[in-house]
């Protein structure tokens, strides 16, 4: 058994290549030779969101605070809130983050395939993100 205290896993800012706005990532656990899942506690400030991305074996999001948005490529933007669980299947292009006026925190869990848990793509455009506000006034 191994206990990993929070002070052994310092938080980091979400890299601007992959996130828009202020995002704090607290690693929870990483893959290793016998466990292929990785997890993080991720907090998005209002309006902050990820770039488009996919996961080679899918991703589970567990919303723990606030409300946010998630969109699958070609689909409509959907609201997610505390208590919601979002499953994104392997290879599905998507993004997620906070709503324009509310922060959102989730636990993200994804499995590794050949050492990779995420494939980052282009950033979500301002027009794509703002499409939610235009249709949900």
Query: How many domains, in total, are found in the chain?
Result: 1
Distance CA 54, CA 28 (A): 20
* Residue 130 counted as domain residue: yes
User: What local confidence, expressed as pLDDT, does residue 133 receive?
Assistant: 66
pLDDT digits (tens, 9 = 90+) for 29-41: 988 888 899 999 9
* Residue 38 counted as domain residue: yes
Taken in order 22, 26, 31, 35, the sign of the CA dihedral is: negative
* Residue 33 counted as domain residue: yes
* Residue 1 counted as domain residue: no
CATH code at 59? 2.60.120.10
Beta bridge partners of 66: 104
pLDDT digits (tens, 9 = 90+) for 65-118: 999 999 999 999 999 999 999 999 999 999 999 999 999 999 999 999 998 999
* Residue 41 counted as domain residue: yes
- With a CB cutoff of 8 Å and minimum separation 6, the contacts of 129 are 20, 47, 49, 69
Q: Give the structural domain span for 38.
A: 6-135
pTM for the model stands at 0.92
């Amino acid at each position: 058994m191994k206990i990993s205290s929070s002070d052994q896993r310092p938080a980091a800012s979400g890299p601007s290549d992959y996130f828009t706005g202020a995002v704090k990532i607290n690693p929870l656990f990483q893959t290793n030779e016998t466990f292929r899942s990785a997890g993080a506690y991720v907090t998005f400030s209002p309006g902050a969101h990820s770039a488009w991305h996919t996961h080679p074996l899918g991703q589970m999001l567990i919303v723990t605070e606030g409300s946010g948005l998630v969109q699958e490529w070609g689909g409509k933007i959907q609201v997610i809130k505390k208590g919601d669980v979002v499953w994104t299947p392997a290879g599905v292009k998507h993004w997620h983050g906070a709503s324009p006026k509310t922060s959102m925190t989730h636990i993200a869990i994804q499995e590794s395939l050949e050492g990779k848990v995420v494939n980052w793509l282009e950033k979500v455009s301002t027009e794509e993100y703002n499409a939610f506000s235009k249709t949900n006034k």
